Amino acid sequence: AQSVTQPDIHITVSEGASLELRCNYSYGATPYLFWYVQSPGQGLQLLLKYFSGDTLVQGIKGFEAEFKRSQSSFNLRKPSVHWSDAAEYFCGFNTNAGKSTFGDGTTLTVKP
Amino acid sequence: DAGITQSPRYKITETGRQVTLMCHQTWSHSYMFWYRQDLGHGLRLIYYSAAADITDKGEVPDGYVVSRSKTENFPLTLESATRSQTSVYFCASSLAGGLNNEQFFGPGTRLTVL
């Protein structure tokens, strides 16, 4: 079955600390993976995406993600978190049918 | 450039009433989507459309109806609202289908069914 798992429902980090949000997927082929961010009261915005090539991809706002085929993972990282990064983060993938499958999201809280 | 807009942003209705949520995009994107977002469930696809007059069911279509007579509009109708349909609804669009489609999301409509 096609699915996305974000194991951490809620993560709290201190401002300036590093961040890693986990994402695992189940898909029959190489997926087109993405991370979206949803700020409070807003719609979703694309952070970054991966389909092929370099397994470490850079996104907006200083985020990066690494694709690891052997682990079926696509974890999101940021070296130093800012208070404005507090939001909900969604991992997912696209299918050939033009649809997307999203994980349940991880809520990030940033402590001052 | 307005992008993708949704109306109303907030709606309170009563059980059994018909409600229509509007979605409008100015990019002439082929694909449009409706999702609902609930705590613990992330985003779930209700319906999507590959082009005008072409719609298809998503993961949770029961109780919803869509139409797409024009490329830019994709209204979602709850024919007889139920309390379980209390949720935040997001509309999205993408230029095309396939693997490389980036979806652009509207700001959402918060619907409460009493």
* Chain B residues close to A104, C-beta within 8 Å: 40-42
Are the C-beta atoms of A81 and A105 separated by less than 8 Å?
no
Per-residue pLDDT tens digits of chain A, which is 112 residues long:
789 999 999 999 999 999 999 999 998 877 899 999 999 888 899 999 998 888 999 999 999 999 999 999 999 999 999 999 999 999 999 877 778 889 999 999 999 9
Closest CA to B111 of B23, B49, B26, B36: B36
Residue to mutate among A99, A101, A106, A107, with most B CBs inside 10 A, is A99
* A10/chain B closest Cα distance in angstroms: 11
Which residue is closest to B4 within chain A, CA to CA? A43
> Which of A5, A32, A44 to mutate against chain B (most B CBs within 10 Å)?
A44
List, for residues B32-48, the tens digit of each pLDDT value. 999 999 987 789 999 99
Q: Kindly state whether A100 is in contact with chain B, defined as any CB-CB distance less than 8 angstroms.
A: yes
Question: What's the 3-state SS for A11-31?
Answer: EEEECCCCEEECCEEECCCCC
Residue extents of the structural domains in chain B: 4-98+108-113
CATH topology assigned to domain A3-111: Immunoglobulin-like (2.60.40)
Pair B38, B44: CB distance under 8 Å: yes
Instruction: For residue B63, give how far its alpha carbon lies from the nearest alpha carbon of chain A (Å).
Output: 20
Structure tokens of A95? 């299918």
Domain B4-98+108-113 listed as CATH 2.60.40.10:
yes
